[in-house]
Amino acid sequence: MSMERTVAETQAERVSGGLWQGIKAALARIGFSPIGVVAFIIIALLPLVPPFNQEHITRWLVMGAFLGAQAVAFDFTAGYINVVNFGFAAILGVGAYTSAVLSNTLPILIVQPGLPPWLTIWIGALASGLIGFLLGMLTLRLRGIFAAVMAWFVGIALMGLATNLPKLTRGSLGFAPPPLLNTTNNLPYYYVALGILLLTYICLRLVTNSHMGLAFRAIGQNIDAARASGINPTRYRVINFTLSCVFAGLLGGFYAHYIGSLTPRTVMHTSKTVEVLALAYIGGRGSMWGGAAVAFPFVFFIEFLRSNLAQLPGLHMVIYGVLLIIVMIFYPGGVAQLYSAIARRVQRRAKGG
């Protein structure tokens, strides 16, 4: 009797354990651990709970999701193939302006196609992807530094073009694209932003978990060894760079129709790239989730500084710089490495009793 019960119990345990393992494996395929899922659900429910259910805090959360998704797309290139896309913000701006111009209905510009924003943000993403593809074809057969510097040059040129074509973009006067949603409430935008963050993360994670991700990692770690084992570095690097730019363009489109005001300086300036770069590296290169996880607390921290230390403008930029330097020299794995070190210690302690 007792014997039978034990067998039944172990069987039940095995089944539930198997189910648990199955769920874990399925989650791992899209790059989530159970703790990650819980954290994501908490972040998603945050604006429904006081004190976070105020409009301005929801707005910060939208910016957190936006910055986090940018860090994910940036780290896909920087962390995997070790190429810094120094024109990231400008390429994002291409998506933003393409989408904004195509959805424009106001008679202030020479073209008013008036397409729905839901459609145009995808066209914007493709436009960014095209720029990324051309830039990658030009520079990625050379050493990584050429891609970084050339992307910077192209970024400055694109910003110059956006400023110099006032009939198309209204230049530095600012351009007001139509809103994405028919509401002034921030909460629906928050869920769109989270959706885009999730889409970016899962798509790019599926790529990195495939054989292509293996090639990316090999190229990033040792390009000669990768070439020796039959990988064509240029091809994989261009694919990676283009994909990252596509998601940058998608994010740009979202930003344009959320903020409702575009100027070249506020979207495409190099300092915007550096913000994302700092987030991605502080979060942990090659982890992809690190930048997204760091983005939310950072946005709160920055807004706290801005409201309490208004007499010190740009303090958060100095902090970004110092943190970037410290992480680069002393802790190259960033927050993601810190997390895994802690997790390992906790696990060891749990096993040890």
Partner 1 sequence: MEATRVQPSFGERLMLNLRSRPAAWIMIAMTLGFLVIIGIFAGPSQLVNTIVTGGMWALMAVGLALVFGVMNIPHFAHGDSFMIGAYVAYFVFTPIQASLRDNPNPVLSAVGPLIAWAAAALVGFVVGAIMEKLVFYPLRQRTRKGWVMNTFLLTVGISFVLVYGTNLILGPNFRGVPNYWNMPPIVIGSVRLTMERIAAFVVAIVAIVAFWIFLSSTRTGRAIRAVAQDEMGAEMVGINLNFIYTLTFALATAMAALAGASLLFMFPAYPTVGLKPLYFAWYVVMLVGLGNVQGAIVGGFIVAVLQTLTQQFFGVSYEDVVPVVVMILVLLLVPNGIFGSEVKGIQEQ
Report the residue number, 38 or 322, with the smaller CB distance to partner 1.
Answer: 322
Straight-line distance from the first to the last Cα atom of the chain, in angstroms, rounded to the nearest whole number = 32
Report the residue number, 228 or 346, with the smaller CB distance to partner 1.
Answer: 228
Q: Does 172 bind partner 1 (CB under 8 A)?
A: no
Q: What are the residues whose beta carbons fall under 8 Å from the beta carbon of 96, sequence distance 6 or more?
A: 124, 249, 252, 253, 255, 256, 262, 267
Among 52, 141, 203, 303, binds partner 1 (CB under 8 A): 141
Q: What are the residues whose beta carbons fall under 8 Å from the beta carbon of 49, sequence distance 6 or more?
A: none
Smallest distance from partner 1 to CB 321, Å: 3
CA proximity to 93, closest of 41, 158, 37, 151:
158
Q: Does 18 bind partner 1 (CB under 8 A)?
A: no
Question: Distance between CA 127 and CA 129 in Å, rounded?
Answer: 5
Smallest distance from partner 1 to CB 307, Å: 17
Smallest distance from partner 1 to CB 84, Å: 6
Q: Does 56 bind partner 1 (CB under 8 A)?
A: no
Q: Please, are residues 168 and 113 in contact by the beta-carbon 8 Å criterion?
A: no
Smallest distance from partner 1 to CB 153, Å: 5
Q: Please, are residues 83 and 285 in contact by the beta-carbon 8 Å criterion?
A: no
Among 30, 109, 115, 138, binds partner 1 (CB under 8 A): 138
Q: Is 111 exposed, middle or buried (0-12, 13-18, 19+ CB in 10 A)?
A: exposed
Q: Does 337 bind partner 1 (CB under 8 A)?
A: no
Question: Distance between CA 342 and CA 337 in Å, rounded?
Answer: 9
How many Cα atoms within 13 Å fall on the side-chain side of residue 269?
9
* Three-state secondary structure call for residue 262: strand
Q: Does 305 bind partner 1 (CB under 8 A)?
A: no
Q: Considering only 113-121, 123-131, 134-142, 340-348, which stretch makes contact with partner 1 by CB under 8 A?
A: 134-142
Among 65, 215, 259, 324, binds partner 1 (CB under 8 A): 324
Q: Considering only 9-17, 18-26, 57-65, 276-284, which stretch makes contact with partner 1 by CB under 8 A?
A: 276-284
Report the residue number, 258 or 320, with the smaller CB distance to partner 1.
Answer: 320
Q: Does 153 bind partner 1 (CB under 8 A)?
A: yes
Q: Considering only 34-42, 139-147, 249-257, 294-302, which stretch makes contact with partner 1 by CB under 8 A?
A: 139-147
Smallest distance from partner 1 to CB 217, Å: 13
Q: Considering only 14-22, 36-44, 286-294, 315-323, which stretch makes contact with partner 1 by CB under 8 A?
A: 315-323
- Residue 175 is classified by DSSP as B
Q: What are the residues whose beta carbons fall under 8 Å from the beta carbon of 233, sequence distance 6 or more?
A: 219, 223, 226, 227
Q: Does 17 bind partner 1 (CB under 8 A)?
A: no
Q: Please, are residues 94 and 158 in contact by the beta-carbon 8 Å criterion?
A: yes
* Three-state secondary structure call for residue 147: helix
Q: Does 163 bind partner 1 (CB under 8 A)?
A: yes
* Three-state secondary structure call for residue 115: coil
Q: What are the residues whose beta carbons fall under 8 Å from the beta carbon of 170, sequence distance 6 or more?
A: 108, 109
Q: Does 116 bind partner 1 (CB under 8 A)?
A: no
Report the residue number, 62 or 83, with the smaller CB distance to partner 1.
Answer: 83
Residue 175: beta bridge partners?
Answer: 262
Smallest distance from partner 1 to CB 317, Å: 4
Q: Does 212 bind partner 1 (CB under 8 A)?
A: no
Size of the site for partner 1 (CB under 8 A): 47
Q: Phi-psi region for residue 171, left (φ > 0), alpha (ψ -120 to 50) or beta?
A: left
Question: Distance between CA 111 and CA 105 in Å, rounded?
Answer: 8
Question: Distance between CA 125 and CA 55 in Å, rounded?
Answer: 29
| Positions that interact with partner 1 (CB under 8 A) | 82-84, 138-139, 141-146, 148-150, 152-154, 156-157, 159-161, 163-164, 223, 233-234, 271, 274, 277-278, 281, 312-315, 317-318, 320-322, 324-325, 328-330, 332
